[in-house]
Structure 1
Amino acid sequence: MCDRVAMQGPPDHAAAPPGAPHRGHPPPARLSLLRCLGVASGPAAALAIALVPSGLHAVPGYGHRPAYAAAVAAWMALWWLFEVLPVALTACLPLVLFPLLGVFGRGLAGDAARAAAPFVDAYIFLFLGGMAIGAAMEQWSLHRRVALHIMRAVGTDPKRLLLGMLVATSSISLWISNTATAVMMVPIGLALLAQLESAAGGRRLTHYGTAIMLAVAYASNVGGIGTKIGTGTNSIFCGFLADKLGHDLGFLRYMAIALPFVVLFVPLLWLALWRVGKRDGLGPGRARDALDRELAAMGPMSRGEKTVAAIFAAASALWILGDPLRAALAPPLQDALRGMGAAAGFKVQGKHYEATVAVLAALGLLALRALSLASVRRMPWGTLALLGGSFAMAAGIEGGGLSAWMAAKLAIVAEAPLLAQLGLASAGTIALSALASNTATVNVALNVLPQDLGVLFAATIAASCDFMLPAGTPPNAIVFGSGYVRLPVMIRTGFLLNVAAAALITVYVYGYARHLIGG
C-alpha cells in the first residue's frame, strides 16, 4: 500500500540499545554535511526558481505563478529525496506555501481552500478504508493463515516452495502495505529455512536463504502493483488521472490493467531467484512439516478472522461490481445531493463509490469489534498526508500554469515514438526510485512526463520495481535483518531484475495496458 512512510522509528518509550542516548534528550551533535546540504537544498532551490528571471515568469495568462509552483515542487522533491523531514510533513508544504505565494491566483482564502481540498479527496478515504482492512487482517493474523495455505497448495519441494513464497507474499501485498507484508513473511521464511537446514544436517543454506528472503522483499513490492489500494503510488496515479486529466479508473478496470503484470513478473522473479537458491543443491525437504506446525499453532479460524474475511469479501465484491452498481445508484444520489444544496456540476465518480465502500467496511470492522482502537492507532496515518500532499502538488502545478510551460518544453519528447517514451519513462523511474521513495518518485514522474495515459501508467508501475538497493523500499531493507542477504548478491540480482522490469513494462504497456487504459 505504501512505502517509506510506514518505516517509523520506535516509540519514545521503547527500549534503546545499550549505550544509546535517551530519545527524549538527544546529545548535541553536528549535522552531517550531507544533511545540511539536504536541509538547505529545498529552500535554496525554491528561492532561485522564484526569484531568478526565466521563462517560468513569462507564461501568458499566469504571470509569476508557474515559477512559484515550480519552486514549491522543487522544494518538496529535494526534501523527499534527502529525507530531511518525514515525507508526510514535507507533503504538507503546499498548505502553507501555495496560499502565501498565490499559486492558484484566487486570493489568500481561495488559494488556502484549493490547497487543502486534495487532502480530503475521495482517494484519501479509499486508502483509509484499505488501511483499516489491512490492519484488521494483521490484528487477527488472517493474512498469515492465507499465506501459509497458499504455500502448502503450491508445494514444498525447494523450487516450488520458493514459488509459493513469491505467490503468497505478492497475494497478500495486493491488499496490505508492502512493509507490513514483509514484516509478516520474514518470520515464516526463517521458520521454513530452519526446517530445511535441520533436514540438511544443520548446514546453513546461504544461497537458498538469500533467495527466500529476496523473494519476500521483491514480491512485497511487486504485489502491491495489482490493485488500487495495493500501494500509495497507485492511488496517486488514479487521483492524478481523475483530477487533472478527467479520466476515472474503476477498481475492476484498474485490476484488469495492472494485475496481469504481477502475474507475468512473478515467474521472472522465480527464475532469477532460483538461479541463486539452487547453488545449495537441496533435495526434497521437510518444509511441509514446518507449514503444518505453523497452521496447527494458529488453530481453527477465530470469530474475528471470520468477521474480517466476510467484510473483506463483501468490500471486494462491491469494488469489483462498482461500474454497474454506480451506474444504477448515481442518478438518484446526484438528485438527492442537488436537493441538499450540492454544487450543480457535482458528479458521482468511481472514486466516490469506492471510497464509500471502503469507509463503510472500516466502520463495519469497528462496529463488530473486528478492528481495535490499538490497531487503528498503529495504522500509517502519515500516508494519508503524503497522498494529500501529492495531490496538492499536482493541483498547484496545474492551477499555477507550470503544466502548460512543461508541456511546451517536453513537446519534443512527446513527439518521440510511443515505444521510446515508454522505455524512457520505465527506465528513468526505476533508476530514480533507487534514490527516492516510491511516492516521491511517482510524484515527480507524473508531473514531468508527457501526459499520455500509457506513459504515466508505465512510470507508476516502474516506481515499485527497484530491486537493487536496500534503500529502495522498506521490504528491501527489512530482509537484511535476516542475516541471509548480502549486498553484492542483491545488487547483481536486482540489476538484472531492474533491466527485466523496464523491458517488460515497456512491452506490457505498449502491447496491452494502454489499450485498456485509454491512452
Structure 2
Amino acid sequence: MEISALSRKLWCVRKPLIIVLTPLTFLPLLFVLPEKEGKCLYVVLLMAIFWCTEALPLAVTAMLPVCLFPTMGILPSKKVCPQYFLDTNFLFLSGLVMASAIEEWGLHRRIALKVLKIVGVKPAWLIMGMMFTSSFLSMWLSNTATTAMMLPIANAILESLFGDLETLKRNCKSIKDPENDTNGQSNVKLDTLPSEKQMLSMEGLDGADHGDGRTAEEIHTEAEYQMKVWKGFLICIPYAASIGGTATLTGTAPNLILIGQLKSYFPDCDIINFGSWFAFAFPLMVLFLFLGWIWIAFLYGGLNTRLCVKRQDQRAQAEARAQAVIDEDYRKLGPMNFAEGAISFFFILFAILLFTRDPKFVTGWSAFFTKGYVSDAVTGVIIVSILFFFPSQKPSLSWWFNPQASNTPYAPLLSWKKAQDCVPWNIILLLGGGFAMAKGCEESGLASWLGGHLQPLAQVPPAAAVMLITAFLACFTEFASNTATIIIFLPVIAELAMHVSVNPLYFMVPATIGCSFAFMLPVSTPPNSIAFASGHLLVKDMVKTGFVMNILGILSVSLAINTWGRAMFHLDIYPEWAFPANMSSTVTAVRIPSLPPLNSTL
C-alpha cells in the first residue's frame, strides 16, 4: 500500500521531476563528447524529452534555444532569435489568418453541407463525402478545427438515419438468457421505438415499432451493423483531416518545418514551394484518401451502399430523414451573402497565387519581379492584409445620399481581435524553436557528427530506407507531437542522406509526410482525441483501424516518392545544392547508382 501511495504521489509531480532530473541525467554528455557537439546534443535531447513528455508547454520548450544556445556558447543570440520569424513563419501565419476568416463567416460549413448534399446518404458514399470534405477543409484550416466542425454534422445525420444512439446501444447489448427463455430465443426487451428526436423528424412517416414484423435477432443484427457504421463515421473524420493537411504547405506544421530546415541546410535549394509541393502531395493525398475510404468503409460498413434495414419502406424513410437534415441545415444558411462571396474570392485567389508563383514545371508570375525577392510568404501576407480593410457589407452608393439609412460602423471581413483569438500563436513559436534547433545543429557541427555515425546505414537500399524512415516516424508520432517529431529527426535524416550520397529530398519529404500519420491512439493528435471524447469509440477500434491506415500511408508515400516524386524533384541525381559550400563550386551533380535514372526529360 505504501508503494502504491508513493507511486501515485510521484505521478502527481512527474513533470517537475522530469524538468529537474533530465538535465542532470544528460550532464555527462558535456564531458564525453567534443565540446560544441556535446553541448548542442545536450540541448537537443533536453528539448526532445520535454517535448515528448510535455513537462513544459510545447511553446515554452521551443524558446529554450534563446537562453541555452548563447549561454552555452553554441550560437549567439543575434543568430538564434531571427529563426523565430523566418518567412516560413509568415506563410504559416497567413494561412492561419485566412482560416480564421473562413471560420468567421461560416464558409467551411457551407462547403461541407454542399458536398454531403451531392454524395447522398448511402453509408459508404456518405463516409466518402465526410472524408473528402474533411480532407479538403483541412488543407486550409487546422485539422483540429475541421474535426470539431464536422463531427456534429455527422452525429445529426446519423441520428436521422438510425435514431437515438443510446437506444441503438441497448439494442446492441441484447443477451440471450436460456433460464428465462425455453425456446432459446432472446428474452431481452429490445427498444425498437424511435426516439423523440427521430419522431419529430419523421413528419408523419411510420417508423419501426414492435409490430413491424422483425424478430429480436433481426433487430439486434441491424443495431450492430448501424453501430459499426456510426463508429466508421466518427473515425473517418479525424483520419481524413490528418491526411488532408499533408497536401498543402500551410496544411500542417511539419511541412513548413521541412521548408525552413531546407533553407537553413541548403540555401541554394529552391525546388520546393507551395506550388511544387501541392503538385506532389495532392495526388498522394487523393490516393491515400481513396485507400483509406476503402478500408474504413469495408471495416465499418462492408462497402454496403444501403442501410441494414430489412423493410424497404423503412430504409427509404430513414434515408429521406437523413437527407432532410442535410437539406434543412443547408437551407438555414440561406443564400450566400456578400461576406461569404468575398471570402470565397480571396480564398481562391490566395490558393491560385501561391500555386502559380513558381510551380517549377511552368514559368510563374514571380518572374515579373526581381529574382529571389518574392516568396510564398509575401503572397500570403498581401492577400490576408486585404481582409482587414475589405468591407463585409456590399458597398452602396445610395447610402451616401439617404439620410434615413442606418449609420452602422464600417466592419471589415476580419478584425484583428478575431485573428488574435483564432491564431494558435504557440505553433508559431514551436516552428521557430525547430528552426533555431536546426541552426544550432548546423553551426555546432552536431549534424555532421551524427551523420558520420550513421554511415553503416549506407548499405540499406534507399527505397527500403524510405519505408523504414516513414514507418519509424509514423510510429514515433503516435506518442509525440508531429511538429516536435519532425523537428527532432529531420536534421539527422538530412545528414544521413548526405553521407549515403542520396538526394536529401528523397528521405526528407517522406519523413515529413509520415509525421502526419498518427492514426492508432486517441492521444496521437488532437483530432483523434476529439473523436474519442465522444465516448462512442474504443481504443481497440482506433488501433485496429489505424494500424492498417499506417501501412497504407507508408506504401502510398513510398509509391509517390519513387514515381512522380522522382521525376518532379530529380531524385535520381545527387544535386549541387546538397554539397557543402566549399565544394559546390568544384563538384558537379552526380548520379546515384542505387536509384536507376528515370526515362524522363523533367
What TM-score comes out, normalization by structure 1 length? 0.84
2:91 corresponds to 1:68: no
- Contact 1:45 1:75 survives alignment (8 Å): no
Deviates more, 1:302-311 or 1:138-147: 302-311
What residue is the counterpart of 2:274 in the other structure? 251
Deviates more, 1:249-258 or 1:125-134: 249-258
Question: Which structure's relative contact order is higher, taking Cα pairs within 8 Å and 6+ residues apart?
Answer: 1
- Contact 2:137 2:146 survives alignment (8 Å): yes
**Deviation at residue 34 of structure 1 after TM alignment:** 4.0
1:125 is paired with a residue whose SS is helix
Residue correspondence of structure 1 range 480-519 to structure 2 within 5 A: 480-519=532-571
Distance 1:298 1:97 in 2: 52
- How many percent of aligned residue pairs carry the same amino acid? 31
Distance 1:150 1:38 in 2: 48
- Which ranges in structure 1 are unaligned for 5 or more consecutive residues? 1-28, 58-63, 105-110, 332-346
Distance 1:393 1:516 in 2: 29
What residue is the counterpart of 1:363 in the other structure? 385
Distance 2:24 2:336 in 1: 57
Deviates more, 1:34-43 or 1:129-138: 34-43
2:112 corresponds to 1:147: yes
- Contact 2:147 2:527 survives alignment (8 Å): yes
Distance 1:32 1:198 in 2: 42
Distance 1:418 1:411 in 2: 13
The ranges of structure 1 where at least 4 consecutive aligned residues each deviate by more than 6 angstroms after the TM superposition are: none
2:411 corresponds to 1:411: no
- Contact 2:62 2:433 survives alignment (8 Å): yes
**Deviation at residue 128 of structure 1 after TM alignment:** 0.5
What residue is the counterpart of 2:237 in the other structure? 216
Distance 1:448 1:505 in 2: 20
1:238 to 259, 265, 271: 259
Corresponding letter in the other structure for 1:461: I
- CA 42–302 in structure 1, closer or farther in 2 if over 3 Å, else same: farther
What residue is the counterpart of 1:159 in the other structure? 124
2:520 is paired with a residue whose SS is coil
Distance 2:366 2:458 in 1: 35
Deviates more, 1:223-232 or 1:29-38: 29-38
- CA 514–38 in structure 1, closer or farther in 2 if over 3 Å, else same: farther
- Contact 1:174 1:223 survives alignment (8 Å): yes
What residue is the counterpart of 1:274 in the other structure? 297
- CA 422–41 in structure 1, closer or farther in 2 if over 3 Å, else same: farther
Count of residues in Structure 1 that have an aligned counterpart in Structure 2:
458
- Please say which structure displays the higher CA radius of gyration: 2
Larger helix percent: 1
- Contact 1:103 1:400 survives alignment (8 Å): yes
**Deviation at residue 37 of structure 1 after TM alignment:** 4.6
Corresponding letter in the other structure for 2:261: F
Corresponding letter in the other structure for 1:146: I
Distance 2:116 2:65 in 1: 45
- CA 514–76 in structure 1, closer or farther in 2 if over 3 Å, else same: farther
What residue is the counterpart of 2:184 in the other structure? none
Residue correspondence of structure 1 range 457-472 to structure 2 within 5 A: 457-472=509-524
**Deviation at residue 513 of structure 1 after TM alignment:** 1.8
Residue correspondence of structure 1 range 108-123 to structure 2 within 5 A: 111-123=76-88
Distance 1:47 1:303 in 2: 61
**Deviation at residue 172 of structure 1 after TM alignment:** 0.3
- Contact 1:414 1:421 survives alignment (8 Å): no
Distance 1:308 1:426 in 2: 37
Distance 1:129 1:30 in 2: 43
**Deviation at residue 415 of structure 1 after TM alignment:** 4.3
Distance 1:240 1:435 in 2: 23
Q: Deviations over 1:432-467 (max 9, x none)?
A: 001100001111220222232111111111101121
What residue is the counterpart of 1:343 in the other structure? none
Q: Deviations over 1:387-437 (max 9, x none)?
A: 111111111101110011011111222442111110110110011001100
What residue is the counterpart of 1:289 in the other structure? 324
What TM-score comes out, normalization by structure 2 length? 0.73
The Cα RMSD (Å) is 2.0
What residue is the counterpart of 2:599 in the other structure? none
**Deviation at residue 328 of structure 1 after TM alignment:** 1.8
- Which ranges in structure 2 are unaligned for 5 or more consecutive residues? 1-8, 165-191, 195-222, 310-314, 359-363, 391-411, 498-503, 572-602
